[in-house]
Structure 1
Amino acid sequence: MAGPSNDSNPDRPSIWLCHRINQDTEQAPAWMTGFEAETLAHLAGVRRYEFLTSRWLLRQGLANTSSLPPERCLPVDGRPKRAVNPEGRYLSLSHSHGLCAVATDTRPLGIDIEPSQRRPDWVAVARRWFSPIEQEWLFRADDPFSFLKVWTLKEAWLKATGRGIAGNLQTLEVRNQFELYGDQPDNTWFASCFYVEGFLVTLVYRGTDQDGPGSWPDITLLEPPLDDYSLALAGTLEVSWEPMFHRVIRAKR
């Protein structure tokens, strides 16, 4: 299964992607909230470009999944987990090596992206932070790409469940063949993993018992923002994606 995806469906999560532009502005764009403008003032270089692009993309994603124009779409202050406007929307952001991603839905979710060719010191990370079951099959596989899948799963899971990394990386256990077990038995959770634009893109979201195994999220690649980060609705670009897996996260046992 592979192909373009540019149409959003309000009944399932949406993923919005765009490539970062390395363009600065003298002042914060007029559409930014006071909190965002103050945060931007303390950033420089790549971190400033990432912040500008991701906050622009956030409004593009919200506008495309609602009837609101981008300039009326507002996130909460702090980490943008929810939208103030439109109401009832959950958000998640991720950016890495020039690509920005925003996920939107009416239920909690978390997204994480990593370049597929990244080669961290994954063995040391797994030994320190992963469960014995995870270490056993990962060390046997000896595959950095499998590690990246596990890492993005755990990052997306923690974002979706509203927790930080410290002390929580083992609340989702990734077993061989990517069977997933989490510590949130009172809700139905799903995980989708894709290869797109040279990146591993992983989304964890809270679904319902009616969500089937084929209910993949929508993925849209937008044209990058203009140099002044104006909020006119961006055009879409063709994007093809390869599915890695789509799984139910079972109750940990």
Structure 2
Amino acid sequence: MAGASSDSNPESIPRIWLCQPAKKADEATPDWLTPDEAQRLAGLKGHRRQEFLTTRWLIRQALAGASGLPASDCCPVPGRPTAAATPPGWHLSISHCQNLAACATGTGAVGIDIEPARRRADWQRVARRWFSVAEQDWLLRTDDAFEFLKVWTLKEAWLKATGRGIAGNLQTLRVSADFELLGDQQQGGWRAGSCLVAGFIVTLVWQGPEAAGGQPAAPTLLAPPPDDCRLVAPEPLACTADWLLNADIHPSG
């Protein structure tokens, strides 16, 4: 896959990479996995194994596309893949949900979350349990599951970008009815973008000098990995992104 540059110098604009899983998961363990990844894969079966392989394959393809290096030369740090081990200098975030995987790459902190746009779970219960009183008020009054999913993906992407889990932290980003965003990080340079791609809400939060007033590049949808997950260069597929939100995240205090 052609890279965005001829060397490993990072781009300033964060990028979103998407792909569907392989149609048939091969049982062999790819030789490009790190020892840490191979150990984790050994404990997975069925769709969880397929999701894991797809996201790890996508990480390498995303780093290759962003840096210009071959995918075989790219890998994440051990454990939670929040940064690249090679090439250095890249931040990462991944998400997967119902037959789609996503990876964000950037030179500053990034967080990505995806949700099917038609998901209709018991969102009112989730809002009452985890959201602020003000958020509950306008969401329950609006009674729109799609608006809830926009808020939920914003909060999830925010927590990934700031390196925190859900418990006790979902109110660290407050979202008003007109989608003014207030976060608990006092340093500036935070921004969020949400778009609708192939029936999914895709939300990215990122930080950096380039964040102010900017918008992430349009998502790149890659062809699914081959059944054996070889690191072949995938073809970009046709992809239309309808932007739902592009806004600064202001300090709350």
TM-score (norm 1): 0.94
* Partners of 1:217 and 1:207 in 2: CA distance: 15
Q: How many residues align?
A: 247
Question: Residues of 1 paired with 2:242 and 2:57: CA distance?
Answer: 26
Unaligned runs of 5+ in 1: 1-5
Structure 2 CA distance, aligned partners of 1:24 and 1:223? Answer: 15
Structural mapping, 1:50-129, within 5 Å: 50-129=51-130
Residue range with higher mean Cα deviation, 131-140 or 211-220: 211-220
The answer to whether the 8 Å contact 1:22/1:46 transfers is no
Q: Work out whether residues 193 and 246 of structure 1, in 8 Å CA contact, stay in contact via their aligned partners in 2.
A: yes
User: Which is worse superposed, 154-163 or 66-75?
Assistant: 66-75
TM superposition shift of 1:123? 0.7
- Residue 235 to residue 83, structure 1, CA distance change in 2 (3 Å): same
- After TM superposition, give the deviation of residue 7 of structure 1 in Å: 8.9
Structure 2 residue 151 is matched with structure 1 residue 150? yes
Q: How does 1:1-253 map to 2 (within 5 A)?
A: 10-208=11-209, 211-253=211-253
Equivalent pair of 1:8/1:14 in contact (CA under 8 Å): no
Q: Could you report, residue by residue, the CA deviation over 1:29-81 in whole angstroms, capped at 9, with x for unpaired residues?
A: 00000010010010011111100111001000001111321111010111100
Q: Give 1:217 shift.
A: 2.8
| Structure with the bigger percentage of strand | 1
In the TM superposition, what is the alpha-carbon distance from 1:85 to its structure 2 partner? 0.2
Distance 1:123 1:12 in 2: 35
Counterpart-to-counterpart distance in 2, 1:214 and 1:251: 17
Residue deviations 1:145-186 (CA, integer Å, cap 9, x gap): 000001000000000000001110100001111110000011
Structure 2 portions without partners, runs of 5+: 6-10
- Which structure has more RCO (C-alpha within 8 Å, separation ≥ 6)? 1
**Alignment-mate amino acid for residue 234 of structure 1:** P
* RMSD (CA atoms): 1.5
Structure 1, residues 206-242: CA drift from partner, whole Å, max 9, x if none?
Answer: 032x545353333100011111101011111110110
Give the AA of the match of 1:85: T
TM-score normalised by structure 2 residue count: 0.94
Q: Percent identity?
A: 52
Partner SS for 2:79: coil
- 1:3-32 per-residue CA deviation (whole Å, 9 max, x = no partner) reads xxx995822001000011242233310000
Structure 2 CA distance for aligned equivalents of residues 33 and 7 of structure 1: 23
Task: Give deviations 1:176-203, integer Å, cap 9, x for gaps.
Answer: 1111000001131000000001100000
